[in-house]
Structure 1
Amino acid sequence: MRVVIAEDSVLLREGLTRLLADRGLEVVGGVGDGEELLALIDSLAAAGALPDVVVADVRMPPTHTDEGVRACVELRKRHPKVGTLVLSQYVEERYASELLASSTRGVGYLLKDRVADVREFTEAVVRVAEGGTALDPEVVAQLLGRSRRHDVLDALTPREREVLGLMAEGRTNSAIAKQLVVSDGAVEKHVSNIFMKLGLTQSSDDHRRVLAVLTHLSS
């Protein structure tokens, strides 16, 4: 099984290379940024020697933001047969969603802490290489949480969404009424419906208006 590693930390890259080699996997290349990764895979493809899987860090040079995951998304477009396993310091929902958007075949997203469990990590690499999926439990939990938030907001009517959006701008009920050219009572009814549909019951410990806005923003 052929593996390419994309990680800007030379120490970690060498460590992953040794770890996988000790488990019988062949590491055929190691690079330090997203552009180098794409260039290497294209070169290997031209030589008829595509790797089975790429293991890449989410954040790589030059900006250390999303170069790694963007390279993997592009890689999946150019060479869909190559599995991509992304490693991240913590769960970044947007990047995980982007990676999984087209297909869940041959894709993985793990927190770097999982590398400490050598057997589990190696099994994840092999599974992705064979076309399977390897998602960190924390990633699954957060993506499901976001999905539930979307489902809740889908229950709102267009007018209720409009009211919630104005609430998120910090508008009072009176200001919202003026903006929408409706009565204060109509706005109060919409706000009450929003609280009900979002499952925000009256509580002395929580401010329902703030919680509603947070739900809106997190979606």
Structure 2
Amino acid sequence: MRILIADDSVLLREGLTLILGDGGHEVIAGVDNGDDLVHRALARKPDLVISDIRMPPSHTDEGLRAAMTIREQWPSAPILLLSQYVVLSYATELLASGSGAIGYLLKERVSDIDEFLDAVERVAHGGMVLDPEVVAQVMGRGRAADPLAALTPREREVLELMAEGHTNAGIAKRLVVTEGAVEKHTQRIFAKLDLGTDAEVHRRVTAVLTLLG
């Protein structure tokens, strides 16, 4: 795949370039700010954009803002954001910007090369990936009017794994059940969350947005 990297750390850009190169991918450019990220992404239309959320000049959310700008002009842009810390609002904003091809990982996840490369592949091919720590924090908080209250414990497990980006086959392997069982749980989740009959990818994203709530 052709990949564009955005991070103000030269060391991280070079490290990602080596990891992705060893994984058979080509890094076509590396930039260190949001403006260049938007320009390069829209001009070159890479197979995947990997960007830090915090970049110059304010080191707050320039990467996220750049990703949102790219999505406005290229709705299907595949974007994987990296962050030093979990900020749930970032994940929610990113997911709300499109129907798929979205990822949000902690930078520490890059050290698990196989897991990182798997996330790269999933997002580039239209999937959704949220860091397990993001999902864990969401599931651990209390909400007065919890839209997930109607879900059974097993359905919550399926939704958590769905949020982490696992396919039905991957969820089945994790839970040691059949894919048919996972499909039934998934359809019950969609029904209980009143998600209608939209495209499967859109419903999965909407279900995860409900989880992030």
| TM-score interval (norm. to shorter) | 0.5 to 0.7
Answer yes or no: is 1:149 the counterpart of 2:158. Answer: no
TM-score by length of 1: 0.63
Answer yes or no: is 1:68 the counterpart of 2:75. Answer: no
Q: Find the residue that maps to 2:30 and give its secondary structure.
A: strand
Partner of 1:13: 13
How far did residue 85 of structure 1 move? 0.4
Partner of 1:178: none
8 Å Cα contact 1:87/1:110 also seen in 2? yes
How far did residue 73 of structure 1 move? 1.5
How far did residue 145 of structure 1 move? 4.8
Amino acid at match of 1:143: V
Matches within 5 A, 1:194-205: none
CA distance 1:82–1:103, change in 2 (3 Å): closer
CA distance 1:97–1:51, change in 2 (3 Å): same
**Percent identity (aligned):** 55
CA RMSD between the two structures: 1.8
CA offsets 1:115-164 (integer angstroms, 9 cap, x no match): 00001101101110000011101112233456x525259xxxxxxxxxxx
Query: Which of 1 and 2 has greater Rg?
Result: 1
Q: Find the residue that maps to 1:134 and give its secondary structure.
A: strand
Unpaired segments ≥5 residues, structure 1: 45-49, 154-218
TM-score by length of 2: 0.65
Amino acid at match of 1:7: D
Amino acid at match of 1:28: I
CA offsets 1:38-87 (integer angstroms, 9 cap, x no match): 0111222xxxxx11110000100000000011111221221122211010
Amino acid at match of 2:10: V
Distance 2:82 2:15 in 1: 14
Distance 1:105 1:69 in 2: 16
Matches within 5 A, 1:29-178: 29-44=29-44, 50-145=45-140, 148-149=142-143, 151=145
8 Å Cα contact 1:52/1:81 also seen in 2? no
Partner of 1:185: none
Q: Find the residue that maps to 2:100 and give its secondary structure.
A: coil
Unpaired segments ≥5 residues, structure 2: 148-212
Q: Find the residue that maps to 1:151 and give its secondary structure.
A: coil
8 Å Cα contact 1:57/1:88 also seen in 2? yes
Matched residue count: 148
